[in-house]
Amino acid sequence: MLKLGVIGTSWICRQFIDAALETGKYELKAVYSRSIQKGQEFVADFSDVQIFDGLTEFVNNIEIDLVYIASPNSLHYQQAKAAIEAGKNVIVEKPAFSNPTEFEEIFELAAKKKLFVLEAARHIHDTAFAVIKSFLSDKTILSANLTYAKYSSKMAALLAGELPNKWNPKFSGGILADLGVYLIYWTIAQFGKAESVDYQAKLLSSGVDVSGHGILHYEDFDVSFFNAGNLTSYLASEIYTDEGTLVLDSVAGTGKAAFVKINGETEEFEIQTAENPLFDEADAFADILENANQEKYAVLQALAQQVNQTLFSMRQKARIVFEADK
């Protein structure tokens, strides 16, 4: 059993706990919150869970061997570092770290301590992802157009003059770090690291992006994408091949997929989705952690590194600077 401690008390943390427990491979042992009362309310449905409001005491708790981090993006680095120094494996929400400097430091430290750091990019662990990858493997890719744009629940606060974590450069916020990361993960996990990238964005007065258009350039094709948090798009994502067009309702958790052949014939895919969208990810991570599966870990680590470098290059193109970069 993986003895889990979690950082954060928001809905995504609860969803991960539910997914982890559903696999039957984890038990929840501890929660870190800035507020003991908030922590107690958060674990009201569970028994025998310790609550900590001090990070050092939390990570050094001998009851846990794994820390899941679901805090604002810029805090991941110091929290992951503290957990690794205390000898714990880490699962960290996407985007794992603010820039390549943080990324390299954390992964070097983890390697030295023979510990695992896993980035929670849930959609690449979905069965749909593997089905699509296998389907595309014998096709020639000509181009792709991906979209992820959803009116943010934090938009009202922003418009009222507040600065929610999500839109704050102090917390490594912005739409590329929030929704864009799904598109970049999907693209790199499907096609490998791009030769070069572009990103043009609409910036908020805080300095981070609220919407933007990106391109990943490959030798024989480009993948372009649109991401936004100030509007909702109902467009599908499309991958154009020499045999026809693959149409996905979303790449950030595909529910529907169809291939429209050049002659217009359409082939619908049978897509199995888990009820909890984090289930497949929690199960995949348990396999790596319980069996010390170095082969699978190396693949995920290389992918996480390429995504981190790509996000950084795109931010540089759009002149988005986080406090963590300074």
Ligand X SMILES: NC(=O)c1ccc[n+]([C@@H]2O[C@H](COP(=O)([O-])OP(=O)(O)OC[C@H]3O[C@@H](n4cnc5c(N)ncnc54)[C@H](OP(=O)(O)O)[C@@H]3O)[C@@H](O)[C@H]2O)c1
Of the candidate residues 93, 102, 119, 280, the single one contacting ligand X (CB under 6 A)? 93
Strands 50-52 and 117-120 come out as: unpaired
Contact 305, 107 (CB under 8 A): yes
Of the candidate residues 8, 169, 229, 244, the single one contacting ligand X (CB under 6 A)? 8
Can you tell me the distance from the alpha carbon of 196 to that of 198, in angstroms, rounded to the nearest whole number?
7
Half-sphere exposure of 286 (CA within 13 A, CB side): 21
Q: Which of 226, 221, 212, 187 is nearest to 310 (CA)?
A: 187
- Nearest approach, Cβ of 298 to ligand X (angstroms)? 22
119 binds ligand X (CB under 6 A): no
Which listed range, 68-76, 187-195, 257-265, 285-293, lies at the site for ligand X (CB under 6 A)? Answer: 68-76
Q: How many residues bind ligand X (CB under 6 A)?
A: 19
9 binds ligand X (CB under 6 A): yes
Contact 133, 248 (CB under 8 A): no
**What residues between 244 and 303 interact with ligand X by CB under 6 A?**
none
Bridge partners, 4 (sequence order): 28, 66
- Nearest approach, Cβ of 98 to ligand X (angstroms)? 11
- Left if phi > 0, otherwise alpha if psi is -120 to 50, otherwise beta: which for 253? left
Of the candidate residues 34, 202, 261, 319, the single one contacting ligand X (CB under 6 A)? 34
Of the candidate residues 29, 88, 122, 125, the single one contacting ligand X (CB under 6 A)? 122
55 binds ligand X (CB under 6 A): no
Cβ proximity to ligand X: between 95 and 214 the closer is 95
Cβ proximity to ligand X: between 60 and 165 the closer is 165
- Nearest approach, Cβ of 244 to ligand X (angstroms)? 31
125 binds ligand X (CB under 6 A): no
What is the identity of the amino acid at 27? E
Which listed range, 2-10, 105-113, 232-240, 257-265, lies at the site for ligand X (CB under 6 A)? Answer: 2-10
Q: Which of 108, 86, 122, 67 is nearest to 300 (CA)?
A: 122
38 binds ligand X (CB under 6 A): yes
Coil vs helix vs strand at 153: coil
19 binds ligand X (CB under 6 A): no
Task: Give the burial class of 48: count Cβ atoms within 10 A of its Cβ; 0-12 exposed, 13-18 middle, 19 or more buried.
Answer: exposed
Residues that bind ligand X (CB under 6 A): 8-10, 12, 33-35, 38, 70-73, 75, 93-94, 120, 122, 165, 178
